[in-house]
């Protein structure tokens, strides 16, 4: 009995002491379209989008195309984040870019990119499986891909598939734009000015009251 109790206590302590292990945050094989936290956009009408089982182009891409895929997963509340995906690339041998990035929204709601990796002038040279640690950028909120073409159309673009993000949760996921909690210097100046005005008005009012009652 005592031995069982000691063993139980020891296993409880071991469970409490062992750090949380990395788990799957997100997977996407594009077989069932986009989830609620994902978005796809393009500055031109082209073939970029989610097709039968992949993200990217189904035909020739458009001139001066800037197409974007974003998954906002609240990654700033994870540690030890890692990231992998498969890329099939048919771009012309010219100034085409496949960029993958982490990012976040600034106080105005604008997406701020932190470029993490990029393939330039591909023509199939970038095709393969990629895996990275995002430890250096783990305070970022989201990740995504951007395809950028030049003015020529010669081939069929890119296909992206089998996204996987692993990490260890350190808090609840954060959705949407993150507004800074600390007031900016200009905000502090406004607040101090406001307090001074309220104080001056209070002093003036009490002086007026004194004169009326005197």
CA 150 distance to own-chain centroid: 26
3-state DSSP assignment of residue 142: strand
Residues 6+ apart with CB under 8 A from 107: 177, 179, 180
Nearer to Ca ion, 53 or 199 (CB): 53
184 binds Ca ion (CB under 5 A): no
The whole-angstrom separation of Cα 113 and Cα 35 is 21
Binding-site member from 33, 35, 53, 128 for Ca ion (CB under 5 A):
53
Identify which of residues 51 and 139 has a Cβ nearer to Ca ion in the complex. Answer: 51
Contact 69, 145 (CB under 8 A): yes
Closer residue to Ca ion in complex, CB, 86/150: 86
Whichever of 80 and 161 has its CB closer to Ca ion, that residue is 161
Q: Provide the terminal-to-terminal Cα distance of the chain, rounded to the nearest Å.
A: 86
User: Which of the stretches 26-34, 68-76, 109-117, 173-181 binds Ca ion when contact is defined by CB under 5 A?
Assistant: 26-34
Strand partners, 102: 114, 143
CB of 82 to Ca ion, least distance (A): 20
Give yes or no for residue 86 binding Ca ion (CB under 5 A): no
For the residues of 33-78, what is the DSSP string, one character each?
A: ---TTEEEEESS-SS-EEETTEEE-SS---TT-EEEEEEE--GGGE
Binds Ca ion by CB under 5 A, chosen from 34, 161, 173, 174? 161
According to DSSP H, which parts of the chain are helical? 2-17, 185-213
**Stretches 18-26, 38-46, 154-162, 170-178: which one binds Ca ion (CB under 5 A)?**
154-162
Q: Which stretch binds Ca ion (CB under 5 A): 29-37, 76-84, 123-131, 137-145?
A: 29-37
Q: Does residue 29 interact with Ca ion by CB under 5 A?
A: yes
The token pair that represents 126 in the structure block: 């970038």
Residue whose CB is less far from Ca ion, 29 or 175: 29
* Residue span binding Ca ion (CB under 5 A) among the ranges 16-24, 143-151, 156-164, 187-195: 156-164
Which spans of this chain sit near Ca ion (rule: CB under 5 A)? 29-30, 53, 161
């Amino acid at each position: 009995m005592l031995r069982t109790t000691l063993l139980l206590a020891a296993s409880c302590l071991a469970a409490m002491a062992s750090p949380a292990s990395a788990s799957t945050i997100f997977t996407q094989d594009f077989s069932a379209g986009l989830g609620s936290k994902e978005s796809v956009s393009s500055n031109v009408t082209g073939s970029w989008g989610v097709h039968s089982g992949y993200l990217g182009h189904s035909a020739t891409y458009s001139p001066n195309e800037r197409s974007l895929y974003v998954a906002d997963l609240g990654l700033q509340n994870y540690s030890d984040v890692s990231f992998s995906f498969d890329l099939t690339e048919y771009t012309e041998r010219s100034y085409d870019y496949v960029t993958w990035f982490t990012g976040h929204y600034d106080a105005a709601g604008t997406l701020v990119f932190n470029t993490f990796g990029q393939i330039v002038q591909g023509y199939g040279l970038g095709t393969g499986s990629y895996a990275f640690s995002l430890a250096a950028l783990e305070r970022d909120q989201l990740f995504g891909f951007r395809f950028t073409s030049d003015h020529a159309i010669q081939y069929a673009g890119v296909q992206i598939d089998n996204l996987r993000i692993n990490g260890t949760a350190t808090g609840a996921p954060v959705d949407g734009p993150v507004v800074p909690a600390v007031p900016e210097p200009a905000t502090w100046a406004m607040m101090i000015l406001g307090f001074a005005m309220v104080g001056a008005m209070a002093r003036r009012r009490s002086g007026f009251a004194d004169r009326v009652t005197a």
